């Protein structure tokens, strides 16, 4: 009974044709052929013509696979066997209809072939892309190196010109050249960095670093930049931070410098804060969290995800000298150091960038923490504003003051900038070249002594004179300057005079 169902619903059940010795079909249960009983086997399909000579052989079995039988316009692919018997004159043909399997197999084979062709095309395209990328990287690297030479030459020549006798207008134009050149330099460095990163050549050089020293350097650089904008830089370092770590100090400085630089750039008033905190620590490893927060313009919610993309800049009114590459580079470096970066921000209130880095702790020094060393980011005792036009003298004075260790210096080269600085930040003393451009030393002193801002009126001023005379010194005192120094400076005299004045104050 089941055989009836088999024939109707199963395509895989054997179908049989029984033929006699003369090749006449005496029985069949075949659904490929219809009404074939009584017909000669070689008349129902040309394939069977080839079987006719085999009928006489005794007890033989012949297998044929993948036979294509086209019957009344329909194609069947079958495995077929032809069997003769020892004690029976009849022969049995068994047909296994595998049409659907073979067509599935064909589809699979076709797909496999397609996949093979696709993968060939893909690898060919890949090869082309790799070649193109290699060319691009090579080009960018060489080009960036080539372009640095003229940039440095422009910078050097501009500095040289600055110290020559230029008019106010010329000095202004020179300032534009210098700042544009600086911007170009940053962009070239960024592009070079990015191309190195993208071509997998970002070098990470790990060594033992003194975390506090590195943070101190960063704090020194960016405190000055903050001061120039009238901002404050706060540094809070967790005392449990291990003192000696294994890391790449240049990349660490690059990453934190970039974030602090952005914080300063996008903040007009208030504070930029760098906090370093221990998240986890054992004898071998520590995870530190670096937070760089500002009280600046903030980032709109829908833009936050894009700021790490290359060449992305939010179209805000903030003067921005960047190229939109800084954060893209930072993100890649952080990832190369196995860290993570994230940002939270509120428009109008400020932003906080968070980096979490794992560090190896330098062995043999595992117990040393920053607190044991009793160190802290340096607080300067006195803030000194220096108004000096001549580069050589600027360098000389700041060297002298830096060597004393307690002075924080801001140098400007014209009278207007002295006034700007005084409006932005607090200073304890001013060293003032009498021959400053825009407002000379006497005008600046008059402005200070008679300013409507009372905290300015008493700031001590030491006059610096390139052409000293008793008469000039007396005149300076009359104009309410506090002391007078002639060039070339005597370091000890300068420090002594400053010390005396500041002590009195």
Binding site for ligand ADP (CB under 6 A): 262-263, 266, 294, 296-299, 307, 312-314, 316, 320, 322-328, 351
Q: Give the nearer residue to ligand ADP in terms of CB position, either 323 or 434.
A: 323
Q: Give the nearer residue to ligand ADP in terms of CB position, either 242 or 326.
A: 326
Q: Give the nearer residue to ligand ADP in terms of CB position, either 313 or 486.
A: 313
Q: Give the nearer residue to ligand ADP in terms of CB position, either 259 or 432.
A: 259
CA-CA distance, 80 to 357, in Å (whole number)? 70
Smallest gap from residue 314 Cβ to ligand ADP (A) = 3
CA-CA distance, 349 to 59, in Å (whole number)? 97
Smallest gap from residue 352 Cβ to ligand ADP (A) = 9
Task: Select the residue whose beta carbon is closest to ligand ADP and give its number.
Answer: 322
387 with 430: CB under 8 angstroms? Answer: yes
β-pair partners for 355: 290, 341
- What is the DSSP annotation of 312-328? -----SS-----S-HHH
Write a three-state SS string for 441-452. Answer: HHHHHHHHHCCC
Q: Give the nearer residue to ligand ADP in terms of CB position, either 237 or 263.
A: 263
Smallest gap from residue 295 Cβ to ligand ADP (A) = 10
Element (H, E) at 28: strand 25-28
- Picking from 326, 306, 328, 312, the residue whose alpha carbon sits closest to that of residue 198 is 328
Smallest gap from residue 313 Cβ to ligand ADP (A) = 4
Smallest gap from residue 283 Cβ to ligand ADP (A) = 36
Smallest gap from residue 306 Cβ to ligand ADP (A) = 8
Q: Give the nearer residue to ligand ADP in terms of CB position, either 158 or 307.
A: 307
Q: Give the nearer residue to ligand ADP in terms of CB position, either 171 or 343.
A: 343
CA-CA distance, 2 to 22, in Å (whole number)? 32
Report helix, strand or coil for 458.
coil
CA-CA distance, 313 to 303, in Å (whole number)? 9
Smallest gap from residue 136 Cβ to ligand ADP (A) = 21
Smallest gap from residue 197 Cβ to ligand ADP (A) = 14
Phi-psi map region of 223: left, alpha, beta (phi>0 left; psi -120 to 50 alpha): alpha
* Tokens linked to 69: 């039988």
Phi-psi map region of 338: left, alpha, beta (phi>0 left; psi -120 to 50 alpha): left
389 with 465: CB under 8 angstroms? Answer: no
Q: Give the nearer residue to ligand ADP in terms of CB position, either 351 or 445.
A: 351
């Amino acid at each position: 009974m089941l055989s009836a169902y088999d024939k109707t619903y199963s395509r895989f059940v054997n179908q049989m044709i029984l033929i006699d010795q003369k090749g006449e079909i005496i029985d069949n249960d075949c659904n490929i052929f219809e009404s074939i009983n009584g017909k000669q086997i070689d008349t129902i399909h040309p394939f069977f013509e080839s079987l006719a000579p085999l009928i006489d052989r005794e007890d033989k079995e012949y297998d044929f696979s993948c036979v294509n039988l086209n019957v009344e316009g329909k194609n069947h692919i079958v495995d077929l066997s032809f069997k003769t018997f020892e004690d029976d004159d009849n022969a049995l043909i068994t047909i296994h209809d595998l049409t659907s399997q073979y067509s599935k197999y064909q589809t699979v084979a076709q797909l496999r072939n397609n996949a093979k062709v696709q993968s060939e095309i893909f690898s060919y395209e890949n090869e082309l892309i790799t070649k193109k990328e290699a060319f691009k990287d090579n080009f960018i690297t060489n080009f960036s190196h080539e372009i640095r030479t003229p940039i440095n030459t422009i910078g050097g020549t501009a500095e040289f010109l600055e110290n020559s006798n230029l008019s106010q207008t010329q000095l202004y134009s020179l300032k534009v050249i210098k700042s544009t050149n600086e911007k170009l330099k940053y962009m070239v460095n960024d592009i070079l960095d990015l191309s190195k990163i993208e071509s997998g050549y970002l070098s990470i050089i790990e060594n033992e670093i003194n975390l506090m020293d590195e943070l101190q350097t960063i704090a020194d650089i960016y405190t000055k930049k903050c001061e120039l904008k009238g901002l404050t830089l706060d540094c809070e370092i967790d005392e449990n931070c291990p003192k000696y770590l294994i890391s790449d100090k240049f990349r660490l400085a690059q990453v934190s410098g970039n974030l602090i630089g952005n914080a300063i750039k996008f903040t007009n008033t208030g504070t930029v804060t760098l906090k370093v905190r221990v998240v986890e620590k054992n004898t071998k490893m520590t995870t530190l969290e670096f937070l760089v927060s500002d009280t600046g313009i903030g980032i709109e919610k829908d833009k936050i995800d894009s700021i790490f993309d290359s060449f992305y800049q939010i179209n805000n009114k903030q003067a921005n000298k960047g190229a939109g590459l800084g954060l893209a580079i930072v993100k890649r470096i952080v990832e190369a150091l196995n860290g993570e970066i994230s940002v939270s921000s509120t428009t109008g209130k400020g932003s906080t960038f968070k980096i979490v880095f794992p560090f190896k702790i330098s062995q043999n020094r595992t117990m040393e923490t920053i607190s044991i060393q009793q160190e802290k980011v340096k607080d300067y005792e006195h803030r000194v504003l220096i108004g000096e036009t001549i580069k050589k003298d600027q360098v000389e004075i700041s060297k002298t003051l830096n060597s004393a260790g307690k002075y924080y210096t801001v140098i400007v080269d014209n009278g207007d900038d002295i006034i700007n600085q005084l409006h932005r930040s607090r200073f304890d003393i001013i060293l003032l070249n009498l021959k400053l451009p825009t407002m000379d030393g006497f005008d600046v002193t008059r402005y200070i002594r008679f300013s409507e801002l009372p905290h300015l009126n008493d700031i001590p001023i030491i006059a610096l004179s390139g052409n000293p005379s008793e008469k000039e010194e007396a005149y300076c005192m009359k104009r309410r300057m506090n002391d007078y120094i002639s060039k070339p400076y005597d370091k000890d005299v300068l420090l002594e005079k400053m010390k005396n004045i500041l002590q009195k104050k």
